[in-house]
Structure 1
Amino acid sequence: MSHAVPTLARPPATAAAELAALARLAGPLVAANLLQMAVFAVDVVFVARLGPVPFAAATLGVFLFHILAFGMVGLVGAAEPLIAAALGRRVHAVREVRRSFRMALWLAVAGGLVVMLVMNLAAPLLRAAGQQAEVAAQAGAFCRILSLAVIPAVASALMRLTAAALGRPGWALMVTAISLIVGILANYALVFGHFGAPALGLTGSALASVTVSVTATAAYALILLRDRRLRRFRLFGRWWRPEGSRMVEIARLGAPIALGWIAEGGLFGGAGLLMGMISVTAIDAHAVALNIAAVAFQIPFGIAQAGTIRVGFAYGAGDAAWVARAGKVAILAGIGIMVLTAALFWAIPSLLVRIYVDPASHGAVAALAVELLGVAALFQLFDGAQAVAAGVLRGVQDTRVPMMIQIFGYWAIGFATAAALGFGVGMGATGIWWGLAAGLFVVSVLLLWRWSAREVLSPLGGAAK
């Protein structure tokens, strides 16, 4: 059924045409990623008004949720390169796309149940990690409710990636905008008791997050069923039918992605713990600078998602020249964008920090955050390069070696250097961030080397795996 294959799955004639195709995919995904940051910020804005203990409990709970759910998205997200490759091959594309989507959805439910179990053990886990008893107790209650959002959150992420691979990336922006509106209204109603709802405080915030996740999942399901292009694939057809070999294939590709993403998220979480050993000012400055860097990171992350799809098309088509072109264009685009964001970090750091804290009342925090942004300006380049390089490697279904590179670079180099510079050399918070930069630099260099080696040795992925 080649008529169902999206136009974006056709090989471009030039690098300029490839860049245009990448931009059509990446643009909506980047915009949706940036808007998703606003969705996360809504929870922070409302919960911060409840007081320091609920805010600390929510911060810990949301961190646990995000790192585990993000790992699950990496696991099921392995369906993305498989779907792209099926479209590139154009042989039984509809059936192959449906099989990958269905088994990834099964994994989202199965893995989500495991994550829910861990979320329900949050209180004893946090107590074992040395958190205050009251904070751990409130975080445990918060996580028990928030665990209900895991499966819909992972499922909606899978549907979003699938819609993008099938040529409908724009839906991601619309659904995220809806999620933002629902998040604001649900928090307003449930946290403080408006629109006739009871004031539930921290519990209300957790319920609002569940509402947002369920809403996004329902919206994407409706889109997949009703969109004229997407419904041709009958993605929910025979949803009960198992495909053991395809599930194993998704798990084999996805488990390394999940572990790599968790290693990266854990690095920045670990850096926060190191900041806590210095001072409250260091923690606050770290949070401000990291939030600014995270917003900028959404751009190369969206390009990486689009790069996975573009390279996946070429990989499935068996077109080595297209594989090389698509990967190179995506990597250069990611690095180029991060050059611009790095320039902003160097040029107007004080202005960016002022968005989050008032220098008049929090002078020490603002000054340190500006100093950290100077380091972030450098590691933005490395962060963008490693994100897109990992994305294009996923396109040729290469995930195991990149995972080993990420774990080594982030922890053996990044965290170790951060601890050594922060405390051994006495550079404090700035030294910790130079350690993060070192880890990102090593990962970016090794992933770019991996891509170059594959391009020379096995452009279509066979021998280099």
Structure 2
Amino acid sequence: MNFSQYTKEFAYNIKLAYPVVLGMVGHTLIGIVDNIMVGKLGSTELAAVSLGNSLIFVAMSIGIGFSTAITPIIAEADAEGNTSKIRSAFHNGLFLCTVLGILLFGLVVLAKPIMELLQQPKEVIELAKPFLDWVAFSLIPLVMYQGYKQFADGLSMTKYSMYAIIMANVLHVFINYLLIYGIWIFPKMGIVGAALGTVISRIAMVVFMHVILSRKEKLKHYFHGFSFAEIQKSTIKKIVNLGLPSAMQMLFEVVLFTAAIWLCGSIGKTSQAANQIALSLASLTFMFAMGLSVVSMIRISNQKGLNDYKQLIIVARSIFLLAIIIEIIFALLFVAFHTILPHLFLNMENQSQLLDNNEVISIAAKLLLVAAIFQISDGIQVVVLGALRGLQDVKIPMYITFVAYWIFGFPISYYLGLKTDLGAVGVWIGLLAGLTVAAIFLYLRFNYLTKKLIDTV
């Protein structure tokens, strides 16, 4: 096969991917906006948001990971022209997402004592607790929104979630501005104001998605007669069988990054703040790969529904190649601007915080150099995971990700971070190791499965 077979797929991949990417970037921007606006209050407030969000990200990963099961079922049914299968997957998927959102809210609130057990700074914990309660509540509308998003994505209608996120971000910045700093008649609420901004913007996202999708003529059939009578044991079982391993895959990675936050917190407040800055920037670039992962899942599911396995491989490799090119560009940008980017997150005019802030910037700059390399591995592993989900292969990838992140990655992070002078940089070298192992073995799994599919034809 020649190179042009892959590059000619780029245009369609990008057309499908860019709304997903912008939507994913929008999700990350909600957190980054909180970090930038709260960072102006001080490094303790920034560390508190970082600690609170570390628990939220764990719960969010389960919700988002689980919801991805809806997309391949709908995309495959769409290629087959099976509207009743699409309707069933949507209704049952949305029901499961709502139940899961409520469960995750309860779990995060009950998990608050973990912060004390992890020996985080006391002043950081005190600020983090009320912030956490409100952001935990926002998980309910967030996971419900995912139900609508995965339905639309499965039908290759990727623009609507982008519109929802853009609207949510504008609303979020506006509410944050009023409530964090106490503008006009509004009280000055600090980081609790940031949490309320997140809650309101996420409720608005769900309302927006329901209204815009239900009014589309070709989708009205899927919204008519929404009732519990539609809940079917067989569809629930199929979504759960795909959703739980997918949730675990995402959980293993997010908990690894959360553990990095806690390890950096154990090293010190400045290391934790620096980790949050580098993680915010790396998360932003990672969303481009996450967007391509969704495209990978949609397009592979379509080809699977059409039983066109040779084209399936061409489509998959074109997406993998595009992800590598994009992540290399970001890596070069990180290297070029590693000393400049951390300044965006801190108020350098605050003389009382100057010593702390200079240390935060010094550590964050080094972390961005490691992030430049690891995001290439991260990009590869996430698009290959998307392709495997498109093939509805989720159990073996779940084991691969567990071994890569927790047998390889975490022990290296722990040892280099806490037992050597590398500190936060050592923690991030461990992340790099885990992601690289995952990328290699997931690709080998995809290669094995697609060869097997072609051999059976």
TM-score (normalizing by structure 2): 0.90
CA drift at 1:252:
0.8
Q: Determine if contact 1:123/1:136 at 8 Å carries over to the other structure.
A: no
Q: How does 1:224-303 map to 2 (within 5 A)?
A: 224-234=213-223, 237-238=226-227, 240-303=229-292
Partner of 1:128: 117
Could you tell me how far apart the structure 1 residues matched to 2:421 and 2:183 are?
Answer: 50
Partner of 1:3: none
CA drift at 1:178:
0.7
CA drift at 1:48:
4.0
Could you tell me how far apart the structure 2 residues matched to 1:371 and 1:128 are?
Answer: 29
Greater Cα offset, 415-424 or 63-72? 415-424
Partner of 1:83: 74
Partner of 1:417: 412
Taking a change above 3 Å as real, the CA distance of residues 278 and 201 of structure 1, as seen in their structure-2 partners, is closer
Q: Determine if contact 1:191/1:203 at 8 Å carries over to the other structure.
A: yes
Q: Determine if contact 2:49/2:131 at 8 Å carries over to the other structure.
A: yes
Provide the secondary structure at the position in 2 that maps to 1:277. helix
Taking a change above 3 Å as real, the CA distance of residues 281 and 143 of structure 1, as seen in their structure-2 partners, is closer
Partner of 2:428: 433
CA drift at 1:247:
0.8
Q: 2:20 corresponds to which letter in structure 1? A: L
Partner of 2:294: 305
* Counterpart among 388, 392, 398 of residue 397 in structure 1: 392
Greater Cα offset, 384-393 or 429-438? 429-438
Q: Determine if contact 1:338/1:381 at 8 Å carries over to the other structure.
A: yes
Q: Determine if contact 2:409/2:433 at 8 Å carries over to the other structure.
A: yes
Greater Cα offset, 40-49 or 127-136? 127-136
Partner of 1:109: 98
Greater Cα offset, 176-185 or 214-223? 176-185
Q: 1:292 corresponds to which letter in structure 2? A: L
Deviation readout 1:180-203 (Å, 9 max, x if unpaired) = 111122223334444544444444
Partner of 1:314: 303
Provide the secondary structure at the position in 1 that maps to 2:267. coil
Partner of 1:20: 11
Greater Cα offset, 402-411 or 142-151? 142-151
Greater Cα offset, 148-157 or 57-66? 57-66
Taking a change above 3 Å as real, the CA distance of residues 128 and 236 of structure 1, as seen in their structure-2 partners, is farther
Could you tell me how far apart the structure 2 residues matched to 1:338 and 1:41 are?
Answer: 20
* Counterpart among 132, 146, 165 of residue 176 in structure 1: 165
Taking a change above 3 Å as real, the CA distance of residues 160 and 405 of structure 1, as seen in their structure-2 partners, is same
Partner of 1:152: 141
Tell me whether 1:349 sits opposite 2:310 in the alignment: no
Deviation readout 1:82-115 (Å, 9 max, x if unpaired) = 111111222xx22111111111111112212211
Partner of 1:189: 178
Q: Determine if contact 2:38/2:191 at 8 Å carries over to the other structure.
A: yes
Provide the secondary structure at the position in 2 that maps to 1:237. coil
Q: Determine if contact 2:179/2:188 at 8 Å carries over to the other structure.
A: yes
Provide the secondary structure at the position in 1 that maps to 2:217. coil
Q: Determine if contact 2:40/2:346 at 8 Å carries over to the other structure.
A: no
Partner of 1:444: 439
TM-score (normalizing by structure 1): 0.88
Provide the secondary structure at the position in 1 that maps to 2:157. coil
Taking a change above 3 Å as real, the CA distance of residues 282 and 54 of structure 1, as seen in their structure-2 partners, is closer
Taking a change above 3 Å as real, the CA distance of residues 352 and 49 of structure 1, as seen in their structure-2 partners, is closer
Q: Determine if contact 1:76/1:251 at 8 Å carries over to the other structure.
A: no
Partner of 2:368: 373
Taking a change above 3 Å as real, the CA distance of residues 354 and 130 of structure 1, as seen in their structure-2 partners, is closer
Taking a change above 3 Å as real, the CA distance of residues 89 and 18 of structure 1, as seen in their structure-2 partners, is farther
Q: Determine if contact 1:330/1:392 at 8 Å carries over to the other structure.
A: no
Greater Cα offset, 356-365 or 254-263? 356-365
CA drift at 1:221:
0.3
Q: 1:31 corresponds to which letter in structure 2? A: L
Could you tell me how far apart the structure 1 residues matched to 2:37 and 2:178 are?
Answer: 11
Partner of 2:382: 387
Provide the secondary structure at the position in 1 that maps to 2:345. coil
Could you tell me how far apart the structure 2 residues matched to 1:49 and 1:375 are?
Answer: 26
Partner of 1:7: none
Deviation readout 1:291-338 (Å, 9 max, x if unpaired) = 221111111111001111010111112211122122111111111211
Q: Determine if contact 1:224/1:235 at 8 Å carries over to the other structure.
A: no
Q: Determine if contact 1:421/1:432 at 8 Å carries over to the other structure.
A: yes
Taking a change above 3 Å as real, the CA distance of residues 112 and 436 of structure 1, as seen in their structure-2 partners, is same
Taking a change above 3 Å as real, the CA distance of residues 284 and 65 of structure 1, as seen in their structure-2 partners, is closer
Q: Determine if contact 1:163/1:230 at 8 Å carries over to the other structure.
A: no
CA drift at 1:134:
6.1
Q: 1:40 corresponds to which letter in structure 2? A: G
Deviation readout 1:340-398 (Å, 9 max, x if unpaired) = 11122233322333433588954443333222222222212111100101011000011
Could you tell me how far apart the structure 1 residues matched to 2:359 and 2:385 are?
Answer: 37
Tell me whether 1:218 sits opposite 2:207 in the alignment: yes
Could you tell me how far apart the structure 2 residues matched to 1:37 and 1:279 are?
Answer: 25
Tell me whether 1:41 sits opposite 2:32 in the alignment: yes
Could you tell me how far apart the structure 1 residues matched to 2:225 and 2:28 are?
Answer: 30
What's the C-alpha RMSD, in Å, of the aligned pairs?
2.7
Taking a change above 3 Å as real, the CA distance of residues 330 and 283 of structure 1, as seen in their structure-2 partners, is same
Taking a change above 3 Å as real, the CA distance of residues 63 and 86 of structure 1, as seen in their structure-2 partners, is same
Q: Determine if contact 1:122/1:140 at 8 Å carries over to the other structure.
A: no
